[in-house]
Amino acid sequence: MGQLGGKADLKVVKGDMGYILEDVPHFTDYLPDLPTYSNPLQDHPAYSVVTQYFVDVDDTVPQKIVVHKDSPRGVHFRRAGARQRVYFESDDVLACIVTCGGLCPGLNTVIREIVCGLSHMYGVNRILGIEGGYRGFYARNTMPLTPKFVNDIHKRGGTILGTSRGGHDTMKIVDNIEDRGINQVYIIGGDGTQRGASVIFEEIQRRGLKVAVVGIPKTIDNDIAVIDKSFGFDTAVEEAQRAINAAHVEAASIENGIGLVKLMGRYSGFIAMYATLASRDVDCCLIPESPFYLEGKGGLFEYIEKRLKENGHMVIVVAEGAGQDLIAESLRSMQHEDASGNKLLDDVGFWLSQKIKDHFTRKQMMVINLKYIDPTYMIRAIPSNASDNVYCTLLAHSAVHGAMAGYTGFTVGLVNGRHTYIPFHRMTETNKVVITDRMWARVLSSTNQPSFLCAKDIEEAKMVEQQPTQLLDEQKSLDNGCH
Ligand SMILES: Nc1ncnc2c1ncn2[C@@H]1O[C@H](COP(=O)(O)OP(=O)(O)OP(=O)(O)O)[C@@H](O)[C@H]1O
Ligand SMILES: O=P(O)(O)OC[C@H]1O[C@](O)(CO)[C@@H](O)[C@@H]1O
Ligand SMILES: [Mg+2]
């Protein structure tokens, strides 16, 4: 297996039969001759009895598991887990944890399990919480975190550390890390946060510091492509059921009742799609990936009228990023951004409510009763459910094992059911609902809604699907020997 040259931040290894490892950085890449120590887990009363507890250094996990007889082995990621040798002595570790971006169920569980993992598995006692997101590194005090302090935080929503958008000043952050003597940095956040983590890692590497930078990807929208699923997503889908049930009860209790529920999903409609599929009470699901229109044949108004005539009531679920082009057209809305530079969206739920009410009032054909429910922040603020709690625990432990083993500049992630270490740059590939895929077809068949698509839209969607992804591009250039 040979190391390939290439882009400065890519560490790619190529093997036989089209095997590619998209590896993550390690201290030894820029700090040769570091001492190593035997992993204290070897003597741990709970873990020492586990057969093959340590991960083989050569274990990797394939990104694509559906293969043909002759297909190349494809891209792999380094398998997460405890290594036999570690690069830190327990007493020398000073770790810190920061949470950035929007809230998500499970943040406190990840914080708890990093603290308990470091302490119980590796005997690390010095752990700091950075308050209020990235700017907390240089603008706020830190809080000491102990297993006792974090004991029951997983039962609470939000993040005990606080969070923020904006305020990423790489130099000030790294100066602060260096001044405090921090040598493990755990960064929990979404795509913006992981971009921030990547530049922090680059600066740390440039300064030649022995500081592990580890990301734990957070997105309630489940919009990161490379991982199976993000923590908090299951909890969000489950909690969304309560809003959909309420909308259904309201709609079904009154003549021509329409229950409209807005769910999160800025660019990806996964929460709306899964909540719709799980509920079976939803008659129409609108997501950012699938354009729709209101007036005329095959439009939303026609469908609402038909459904009310058939059934007397209906439930509509709309993802917050759906129909933004329509709103922009009708409101000539200004484009605003939040402190991190994310586009601020217009409220599709409120806009759609008004449009539906106006339409039926104007037409005077039937009196409708529309109830609009926006549970978005109520969903985002709850604690994670049981399965997300276990998932968060494994992500946190993978992060701790990776840092102790000397890996850095990576995020943890579940790929095909296995925990892995993934280079930062892969975190920015977005996961979207593919509207020409089976899952979206299942939604359409469960709701009976029109697809709102003309032949041209379908062609365009297929073209997007067929376009080479970054992965294929890279694979192609690797095959051409470009790296
Ligand atoms: N390209 C970037 N370089 C450095 N820092 C960044 C970059 N993009 C975002 N950040 C910082 O990351 C933090 C979080 O970013 P953002 O508000 O976009 O949330 P996020 O991590 O994407 O989470 P989510 O969008 O899921 O709520 C902010 O402090 C922001 O300044
Ligand atoms: O209102 P805030 O806190 O900026 O966050 C809203 C955004 O965060 C997200 O949940 C992503 O984390 C989006 O779906 C949503 O648009
Ligand atoms: Mg984001």
Whether 462 shows a pLDDT value over 70: the answer reads no
- Tell me whether residue 377 is annotated as binding: yes
How many whole angstroms from 386 Cα to the centroid of ligand 1? Answer: 28
The pTM assigned to this predicted structure is 0.92
Looking at the chain, the domain(s) classified CATH 3.40.50.450 span 12-230+384-426
DSSP letter for each residue of 294-315: -SSTTSHHHHHHHHHHHHSEEE
Q: What angle do CA 119, 100, 186 make, to 5 degrees?
A: 30
How many whole angstroms from 221 Cα to the centroid of ligand 1? Answer: 15
- Give per-residue pLDDT as tens, 134-174: 999 999 889 999 999 999 999 999 999 999 999 999 999 99
The residue from 23, 221, 283, 388 that is catalytic is 221
- Give per-residue pLDDT as tens, 328-381: 887 765 667 899 888 888 899 999 999 999 999 987 778 999 999 999 999 999
10 Å CB burial of residue 367 (0-12, 13-18, 19+) is: exposed
CA dist 336 and 130 (Å) reads 29
User: Ligand 2 atom closest to Cα of 264?
Assistant: 14
CATH number of 12-230+384-426: 3.40.50.450
CA dist 354 and 375 (Å) reads 18
In this prediction, residue 46 carries a pLDDT of: 82
Helix ranges (H only) for 140-290 are 170-180, 191-206, 233-252, 270-279
CA 362 to chain CA centroid, Å, is: 42
Here the ipTM equals 0.97
Ligand 2, residues 191, 221, 224, 287: which to mutate, most atoms within 8 A of Cβ? 221
- Give per-residue pLDDT as tens, 19-64: 999 999 999 999 999 999 999 998 888 877 777 789 999 999 999 9
CA dist 182 and 409 (Å) reads 15
**Highest mean pLDDT out of 62-76, 363-377, 397-411:** 397-411
Nearest ligand, CA 101: 1
- Tell me whether residue 323 is annotated as binding: no
Q: 458 or 451, which is more confident?
A: 451
pLDDT band for 470, please (50, 70, 90 cuts).
very low
Tokens matching residue 319: 């993802």
- Mean pLDDT across the stretch 110-133? 98
How many whole angstroms from 190 Cα to the centroid of ligand 1? Answer: 7
How far is residue 131 from each of residues 164, 167, 314, 356, measured CA to CA in Å? 9, 13, 44, 44
In this prediction, residue 366 carries a pLDDT of: 85
DSSP letter for each residue of 412-445: EEEETTEEEEEEGGGGGSBP---TTSHHHHHHHH
Whether 455 shows a pLDDT value over 70: the answer reads no
Whether 90 shows a pLDDT value over 90: the answer reads yes
**Is ligand 2 within 6 A of the CB of residue 191?**
no
- Tell me whether residue 379 is annotated as binding: yes
- Mean pLDDT across the stretch 467-472? 44
Superfamily of domain 233-382+433-461: Phosphofructokinase domain (3.40.50.460)
Ligand 1, residues 110, 163, 169, 193: which to mutate, most atoms within 8 A of Cβ? 193
Helix ranges (H only) for 3-91 are 27-30
In this prediction, residue 5 carries a pLDDT of: 35
Looking at the chain, the domain(s) classified CATH 3.40.50.460 span 233-382+433-461
In this prediction, residue 481 carries a pLDDT of: 31
Ligand 2, residues 266, 270, 338, 347: which to mutate, most atoms within 8 A of Cβ? 266
Nearest ligand, CA 173: 1
Residue 283 bears catalytic tag:
no
Residue nearest to atom 3 of ligand 2 (CA): 102
3-class DSSP assignment, residue 76: strand
**Is ligand 2 within 6 A of the CB of residue 320?**
yes
Neighbours of ion ligand 3 (CB under 5 A): 190-192
Percent of the chain, pLDDT > 70?
Answer: 91
- Mean pLDDT across the stretch 444-472? 71
- Tell me whether residue 442 is annotated as binding: no
CA dist 116 and 404 (Å) reads 14
- Give per-residue pLDDT as tens, 23-32: 999 999 999 9
DSSP run (H or E) holding 98: strand 95-99
- Tell me whether residue 417 is annotated as binding: no
How many whole angstroms from 357 Cα to the centroid of ligand 1? Answer: 37
User: Ligand 2 atom closest to Cα of 344?
Assistant: 16
Residue nearest to atom 8 of ligand 2 (CA): 102
CA dist 259 and 246 (Å) reads 8
In this prediction, residue 251 carries a pLDDT of: 98
- Tell me whether residue 266 is annotated as binding: yes
In this prediction, residue 136 carries a pLDDT of: 97
Tokens matching residue 56: 């083989």
- Mean pLDDT across the stretch 301-308? 96
**Is ligand 1 within 6 A of the CB of residue 199?**
yes
CB distance 360 to 307 below 8 Å: no
**Is ligand 1 within 6 A of the CB of residue 230?**
no
